[in-house]
Amino acid sequence: MQSLWTLGHFVAAAALVCLANWLGLIPWRRAAHAHWAERARLLWPARATAVINIFILPIALPFVQRLVWPGATDAWLLHGGAAALGALAGSYPFDRELYPRLTPRDWLHQVAAGWSLQLGYWALFILAIIIMPREFGWGVAAVAGGFFAISVGVQWGVVLTLLRWMRIVKPPSERLSRIAGETSARMKVPARGVWLLGGLQALAFALPTTRELLFSERLMEICTDEEVAAVCAHELGHLTESKATLAGRLVGALSPFPLVFLNPATHALGAVALLLLLLAVLGIARLARWLSLRMEKRADAMAAKGETEEGVYARALEKIHRENQLPAVVPKDRLTHPHLYDRMVTAGIAPDFERPKPPSKMTWVGVVYLVGFGVLVGVHIGRTLGR
C-alpha cells in the first residue's frame, strides 16, 4: 500500500504540472508569428506558474491525502519527495516545447544539477526551522550559525565548485579566454577566473565575492566577439563594486534567514512573531532588489562606455533576451535588472518595437492552483487548532 501511495503522488504531481503547463502555453502558441517581444511577454506567466507548481504541489498533495483519506499511511516526507520528482518529470514537455533541441539526456543532466542544488538548499532551510529549539539559547545559536555558514558558503564559491564537479561548468574556450583577457586588460579590472557554463540559455554571470566570471556556451554561439566583449565589460563592472555593496548583496542573499527563528520567536512572542519575521524577509528582499537594480545600471554604464562600437552592447542584450525568450518589460516586483527596452534606449539604440505592456504574473490555472493550496493550508491549520 505504501508503494501505491508513493506512486500515486508521483503520477498526480506529474499530471497536474503537465496540465497547467499545457494550458499556460496556449496564448504563446497562438502568437507563433508575433514579434519575439510579444511572444516573450505571453510566455512569462506560463514560466512563473511552471516554477511555482514545482514547489507547491509536493506540499499540497500530502495535505489532500490527509484531508480526503485521513486513515491512510502518513509518510508525508516520502510522498512529498515523490510528488517533487513527479512535478519535475511533468515539466519536461514544457521545457521541450520551449527548446526543441533539448534532448532527454541533457534535460536530465540539467535538472539533476540545477534542482538538486536548489532543493538541497531549501531542504536544509526547512530542516533548520524544524530542528530549531523552542527556547532561545546555545541550541538556537548553533542551528542558526550552521545555516548561516552554509548560506555564506554558497556565496563564496561552494555552488561553483559543485557545478564544476557536476560538469555543468568547465574551463573556458580559447576564444572566451582571449576576449575576457583583452577586455579585462582594457578596463584594468582583473578577474580571478573565467568559466564556461553549459545549458540551453544565453547567460553571463559575475561572482563579485570570488571575482569570477561565467559565460554560457549558448551565449558564445549566438554573439560576436564584440558582443561578448561588451557583455564581459558589464560583468567586470560588478567586480569593481565596493565592499559595502558586497556586504549588501550578502545580506540580500540571506533574505529568508530570519524565518529560521520561527520556532523560538513564536514561542516567545506568539503570532506577532510570524508577522515580524515576514516583514523582515520582505524588507531584506526589497533592499536586495533595489541594490541589484542600482548595480546593474552602474554596470550597464561601464559596458556602454567601454564598447568598441556604438550600440554593440544594446544589440547583445536584445539578442540574449530574444534567445532566452525573456520579456522586454517585466512586472515591477520582479525587477532586479532594468527593463531591456529602457536599457536599449539608454545605450542609444531605438528598439524596433513599441514598449510592451508588463506581462501577467501568473496564468489563470496557476492562480487556481495557488488558491487551492492556500485553502488546503488554511483547512489544515484550522483542524490543528481545533483539536
Q: State the pLDDT at residue 39.
A: 96
Mean pLDDT confidence for 165-174: 91
Q: State the pLDDT at residue 386.
A: 57
Q: pLDDT confidence of 158, banded at 50, 70, 90?
A: confident
Mean pLDDT confidence for 284-292: 90
pTM of the full structure: 0.87
Is 3 a residue whose pLDDT tops 80? no
pLDDT above 70 coverage of the chain, percent: 95
Q: State the pLDDT at residue 275.
A: 86
Is 239 a residue whose pLDDT tops 80? yes
State the SS3 of the chain. Answer: CHHHHHHHHHHHHHHHHHHHHHHHCHHHHHCCCCCHHHHHHHHHHHHHHHHHHHHHHHHHHHHHHHHHCCCCCCCHHHHHHHHHHHHHHHCHHHHHHHCCCCCHHHHHHHHHHHHHHHHHHHHHHHHHHHHCCCCCCHHHHHHHHHHHHHHHHHHHHHHHHHHHHCCCEECCCHHHHHHHHHHHHHHCCCCCEEEEECCCCCCEEEECCCCEEEEEHHHHHHCCHHHHHHHHHHHHHHCCCCHHHHHHHHHHHCCCHHHHHHHHHHHHHCHHHHHHHHHHHHHHHHHHHHHHHHHHHHHHHHHHHHCCCCCHHHHHHHHHHHHHCCCCCCCHHHCCCCCHHHHHHHCCCCCCCCCCCCCCCCCHHHHHHHHHHHHHHHHHHHHHHHC
Report the chain's mean pLDDT, rounded to a whole number. 88
Q: State the pLDDT at residue 219.
A: 96
Is 274 a residue whose pLDDT tops 70? yes
Q: State the pLDDT at residue 124.
A: 85
- The pLDDT tens digits for 328-387 are 999 876 678 889 999 999 887 889 899 999 999 999 999 999 898 888 777 766 665 555
pLDDT above 90 coverage of the chain, percent: 48
Bigger pLDDT: 116 vs 283: 283
Q: State the pLDDT at residue 52.
A: 92
How distant, in Å, are the alpha carbons of 174, 191, 196, 238, 359 from that of 188?
A: 21, 10, 22, 13, 40
